[in-house]
Amino acid sequence: MSPLLQILIDAALEAGHEIERIYGEGCATETKSDGSPVTAADHAAEAIILARLGAAFPDIPVIAEEEACAGRIPEVGERFFLVDPLDGTRGFVERNGEFTVNIALVEHGSAVAGVIYAPDSHTLYYGAAGEGAFRRREGGEAEAISARFAPPAGLTAIASRTTAAKTAEKLKHLPIADFAPSSSSFKFCMLAEGSADVYPRFGTTMEWDTAAGQAILEAAGGRVMELDEEAREVGPLRYGKVDRTFENPHFIAWGASQ
């Protein structure tokens, strides 16, 4: 494992432990200007990650969700970090366990290294270009994971729980055999570990929502493709879209080459 990836893992684990502590104690929920929830866990986790990345990589800018929402966005160049300190805050508030810590490194528009940690299940996913993708459960050893090829019996599709019905309608042209709703960046992890095949996203996402998952999925042999207005694949999902204030276009993520 590269030293950089180890630092990202350590930051995600420390942030995750603080999220777990606050999750156990409970905390108040506020509403941001876009209507999404935010909690003390979001802010505490982000502060931990920013401190660790700032100490280890002082010359690499960090785009972090809560800082960005507050208007504090550094200038980015060819290399920067994307951080979602608590992806799935609604799941945290609803106490369904479906929330993660996401950290990714972007180089020349591509997500090249990523870490996703699920505090509730104590499961860590990580991967980087040229290093492969891995999963580590609490008390266990790291195990290599890989995206699967489409099963002959048909595809397993995944989508956010809140958009599952609409997504199923949009996938009628594909040979879908099963449908598994999921939340937060778990969707990318399901593809990377070979338990699902396709994840289309037609709603709003931000770059910090997807970069870590894309890095892990691509390291596992999958891909994430941008969709145009006609839902056609037009190329890999890219990062550093300052002109869009880091908002993603629609995209579709796949397991191993279909």
- Residue 165: count other Cβ atoms within 10 Å of its Cβ: 11
Contacts of residue 201, defined as CB under 8 A and 6 or more positions apart, other chains included, come to 159, 160, 248, 250, 251, 252, 253
User: Which among 172, 178, 4 is positioned nearest to 81, based on CA atoms?
Assistant: 4
Return the sign of the alpha-carbon dihedral for residues 34, 39, 45, 47: positive
Distance (Å) of CA 43 to CA 29, 65, 70, 193: 12, 10, 12, 30
**Over the chain, what is the mean pLDDT?**
94
In the chain, CATH 3.30.540.10 covers: 3-145
List, in sequence order, every residue forming a beta bridge with 79; answer none if it has no partner.
107
User: Identity (one letter) of the amino acid at 109?
Assistant: G
* Stretch among 54-58, 88-92, 188-192 having the lowest mean pLDDT: 88-92
Q: What is the C-alpha separation between 128 and 115, in angstroms, rounded? A: 9
DSSP 105: E
8 Å CB contact between 215 and 174: no
Kind plus residue range of the DSSP H or E element containing 45: helix 40-56
In the chain, CATH 3.40.190.80 covers: 155-254
Which is higher by pLDDT, 159 or 131?
131
Residue located via tokens 């966005």: 73
21-47: average pLDDT: 93
Kind plus residue range of the DSSP H or E element containing 187: helix 186-192
27-36: average pLDDT: 90
Contacts of residue 194, defined as CB under 8 A and 6 or more positions apart, other chains included, come to 145, 146, 147, 148, 255
Bridge pairing between strands 155-160 and 176-182: parallel
Q: Give the pLDDT band (50/70/90) at residue 27.
A: very high
Whether the per-residue pLDDT at 180 is higher than 90: the answer is no
pLDDT of residue 29: 94
User: Which among 138, 103, 89, 96 is positioned nearest to 15, based on CA atoms?
Assistant: 103
User: Which among 155, 156, 239, 169 is positioned nearest to 202, based on CA atoms?
Assistant: 169
**Size of the chain, expressed as the number of residues it contains:** 258
User: Which among 93, 72, 110, 118 is positioned nearest to 210, based on CA atoms?
Assistant: 110
Q: Kindly report the CATH class assigned to 155-254.
A: alpha beta
Of the chain, the percentage scoring pLDDT greater than 70 comes to: 98
Whether the per-residue pLDDT at 164 is higher than 70: the answer is no
* Stretch among 15-24, 182-191, 218-227 having the lowest mean pLDDT: 182-191
Is 225 in a helix, a strand, or coil? Answer: strand
49-63: average pLDDT: 98
8 Å CB contact between 116 and 216: yes
pLDDT of residue 159: 79
What is the pTM (predicted TM-score) of this model? 0.96
Is 109 in a helix, a strand, or coil? Answer: coil
Q: Kindly report the CATH class assigned to 3-145.
A: alpha beta
